[in-house]
Structure 1
Amino acid sequence: MTRNTRTHSRTLAAVAAAAVLTLTLAACGSESMAGMDHGKSASAAPSGPSGHDMAGMSHGPDGMSGMGGASTGATAPGLAAEQGGYRLDGRLSGTEYRFTVTGPDGAVLTQYQPEQTKQMHFYAIRSDLSGFQHLHPTMAPDGTWTAPLAALEPGDWRMYTSFVPGTGAGAGTGLVLSRTANVPGAATAVPLPPAAASTTVDGYTVTVAGAPKAGKAGELTVTVSKDGQPVTDLQPYLETYAHLTAFHAGDQAFAHLHPETRATGAGGGPTLPFHAELPAPGDWRLFLQFQTGGTLHTAALTLNVAA
C-alpha cells in the first residue's frame, strides 16, 4: 500500500468515528429528555403542617407559575401552589383544612399584612363551581392555619389562600395560592346555571350590569334591592359594602373583583361599582357577599365574558 493510500484510509476512519460519536451523543441526549414533563415541576412529597406527611394528598394539576394575565398554556390565575418562592402545603381532614405557607427562605411564614381587615382569606369550591365557601382561618404560633369548613359534598375541590406576605422577597405583594383536595364518595355534578343579569338570595335581588372583555379592565355595577325597593342599609363587610369573587368554569381560575368605594358607615347601597379584570373568556361564576342586620348573604350568578 502506498503512503498516499494509507493516509487516505486513516482520514476516512477518523471521519467515520466522528460520525458514530455524534450519533451516539444525539441518542443519549434524546433518551435523557424522553419522559421529562416540562409542564409540571416534579418534587418529592412535601411535608404538611406541623410535620404531617403529605405523600397521600391529591394535589391535582397544581402549577408552579404565578398569577396575572390570561391563561395561555401556563397556569391560570390562582391555580398555582407556588409563586415567587412562597409555597402552599395543606391537608383536608374531614371538614377541616390545615395548611402552611413556606417563604423563599424555606421557613414557614408567620408574618402577614392585613388585606381587607384579614391576614388570610380562604376559599373552597368544588370543580363544578358549587359549594362556595369564604372563610378567615386562624393561625397557630408555628404558622399553621386551620380553616373549619361546612360539610363538603363528595368530589374534587380546590382550596385557595389569598394573602399578603409580611416578610420575604414578596412582602407587601398580594398572592393567591391553591391546591386540590378530594372528598370521597359518589359525586354528582351540579350543572352550571346559565348566564343571567340577576339572582335572588334571602329575599334580596342582586342585579349585575356591565360587559367586561377578557383581559381588559372594566367595571361591573351591582345593585341590591328588596321587594322592588332599593336597599340602602348595607353594613360594612371587609372594609366595603360587598365582597365579589369569581371563578372560571372549566379550570377554576380565580379572580377577586375589587370594590371601587370603601365603606364609611352603615347605610351603603343600593349601587356598588367594582373594578373587573377577568383574564379569560367564557363563563365565570360570581359570588357576591353583603351584610344587612348583622347577617351575611351570599348571592351567586353566572357571567359570560367575551373574548
Structure 2
Amino acid sequence: MSSSLLPARRRLVAATLAATALAVTLSGCGSGSGSGSGPAMPGMSGMASSAMPSANSSASASSMPSMPSMSGMGAMASGDGLAAAGSGYTLTSSTTTLPAAKASGYRFTITGPDGKPVTDFAVDQTKRLHFYAIRSDLTGFQHVHPTMAADGTWTAPLAALTSGTWRLFATFSPNTGSGKGSDFVLSRTVTVPGMAMDSALPAASASTTVDGYTVTLSGELMAGMAHPLTVTITKGGKPVADLQPYLGTYAHLTAFHAGDSAFAHLHPTTAMGGDRGGPSLAFQAELAKAGGWRLFLQFQTAGTLHTAAITVHVS
C-alpha cells in the first residue's frame, strides 16, 4: 500500500470506532428506560372509552401503549395464564378429571409464597376471584364465580362439560402479602373422558349475533401494542341503549388464543353512567400474541345474560 494512503486509512478506522462507541452508549441509555425494560403490551388502534377501569387500566381511552404492573410478573392478569404457579402463588388442586355431560364442582386453593392458602383477596369487578373454563378448541366457554370456605378452599360450579381437554383459569389479586396489589392469572388443565370431537375455529369476523343482538367490533388488533377496541351492540338494526350493569360494568370481555388457550381480559374503559348503557362500549386490549383469538363478550339486558363469541385475527 502506498504510504500516502496511510493517514486516510487511519482517519477512516478512527471514525468507525467513534461511531461504534456512540451507538453502544445510546443503546445502553435506552435499555434503562421503563418503556424498553418491560414486556411490550399488545394493542388495538381505533378504540373508544369503555366501562369501569380495572386496576391496570386508565379511566379514559388512550391510543398510547400502556404497560402492565411489573409486580407479580409471570402470573399477572396481563400474562397469558398458561402456568399453575408464578411469583410464589400457586393454583393447587388434586382434581385432574371432571365428568362429562353433567354439572360438577371444581375444588382448588390459591397458596401463597409461604405455602399456605390465601384467604384475603381484593375485589375486582365486584368479585374476589373470577374463574373461567375453556375447551382446547376454544368452545364451551364458562365464566363463573366460586365460593370460598374459611380454610381457603374454593369451589367453582361448572355446567356440563363435553369430552376433551379443558383449561381452567383463576384470576385474582391478593389483599395481603408480597403479591398485594398485583393481578394474577393462573391455570390448570383437566380431562373430561369420552370421545373428543374438536371444532374448527370459526373464521375471523367483525361482527356476530347472539339472542337477536348483533355485536360489532371496531379496532385494529396488533400484537405487542396497546390500542382501544370499540364494541357496538344493536338489535333489529337499532342501537341498544338498555344494557344493564354486569360485574360493575356494562359488559365483560375475555379472549383466548387459538392453539395454546392463552388468556387475556380486555379491560373496560368507559365509566358506568347509571342503570342503562350502550350502544358503544370501549375496551383496552391486551393481546400479546399474533394469530387467531376467540373473544367472549358478556352483557345483560332485561335480567338475561348474553354471551357473544367472535373470532378475531391479531397481526
Tell me if TM exceeds 0.5: yes
- The answer on 1:77 being equivalent to 2:93 is no
- 1:264 and 1:178 map into 2 onto residues whose CA distance is 34
Gaps (5+ residues) in structure 2?
1-72
Partner of 1:291: 300
- Please report how far the alpha carbon of residue 67 of structure 1 lies from its aligned counterpart in structure 2 after TM superposition: 4.2
Partner of 1:27: none
Per-residue Cα deviation, 1:226-261 (whole angstroms, up to 9, x for no partner): 000000000011111000000000011000000111
- 1:254 and 1:147 map into 2 onto residues whose CA distance is 18
- 1:68 and 1:296 map into 2 onto residues whose CA distance is 27
- CA contact 2:76–2:184 (8 Å) conserved in 1: no
- 2:149 and 2:236 map into 1 onto residues whose CA distance is 45
Counterpart of 2:74, as a letter, is G
- 1:123 and 1:263 map into 2 onto residues whose CA distance is 24
Runs (4+) off by over 3 Å = 67-70
Identity across matched positions, percent: 62
Superposition pairs of residues 21-36 of structure 1, within 5 angstroms: none
Q: How many residues are matched?
A: 238
Taking structure 2 as the reference length, the TM-score comes to: 0.73
RCO higher in structure (CA 8 A, sep ≥6):
2
Counterpart of 1:86, as a letter, is Y
Taking structure 1 as the reference length, the TM-score comes to: 0.75
- Please report how far the alpha carbon of residue 266 of structure 1 lies from its aligned counterpart in structure 2 after TM superposition: 1.4
- 1:105 and 1:67 map into 2 onto residues whose CA distance is 17
- 1:172 and 1:186 map into 2 onto residues whose CA distance is 43
Partner of 1:26: none
Considering only CA atoms, is the larger Rg found in Structure 1 or Structure 2?
A: 1
- Please report how far the alpha carbon of residue 264 of structure 1 lies from its aligned counterpart in structure 2 after TM superposition: 2.6
- Please report how far the alpha carbon of residue 93 of structure 1 lies from its aligned counterpart in structure 2 after TM superposition: 4.3
Gaps (5+ residues) in structure 1?
1-64, 71-75
Counterpart of 1:112 in 2: which secondary structure? coil
- The answer on 1:305 being equivalent to 2:314 is yes
- The answer on 1:217 being equivalent to 2:195 is no
Partner of 1:167: 176
Q: Specify whether residues 197 and 249 from structure 1 end up closer, same or farther in structure 2 by C-alpha distance, changes over 3 A only.
A: same
- 1:181 and 1:200 map into 2 onto residues whose CA distance is 30
Q: 2:281 aligns with which of 272, 281, 295?
A: 272
Counterpart of 1:220, as a letter, is L
- Please report how far the alpha carbon of residue 148 of structure 1 lies from its aligned counterpart in structure 2 after TM superposition: 1.0
Partner of 2:211: 202
- 2:307 and 2:98 map into 1 onto residues whose CA distance is 25
Counterpart of 1:113 in 2: which secondary structure? coil
Q: 1:183 aligns with which of 183, 192, 198?
A: 192
- The answer on 1:144 being equivalent to 2:153 is yes
- Please report how far the alpha carbon of residue 68 of structure 1 lies from its aligned counterpart in structure 2 after TM superposition: 6.3
Counterpart of 2:307 in 1: which secondary structure? strand
Q: Specify whether residues 69 and 264 from structure 1 end up closer, same or farther in structure 2 by C-alpha distance, changes over 3 A only.
A: closer
- 1:237 and 1:85 map into 2 onto residues whose CA distance is 32
- 2:135 and 2:221 map into 1 onto residues whose CA distance is 25
Counterpart of 1:212 in 2: which secondary structure? strand
Partner of 2:20: none
Partner of 1:89: 92
- 2:98 and 2:313 map into 1 onto residues whose CA distance is 35
Partner of 2:119: 110
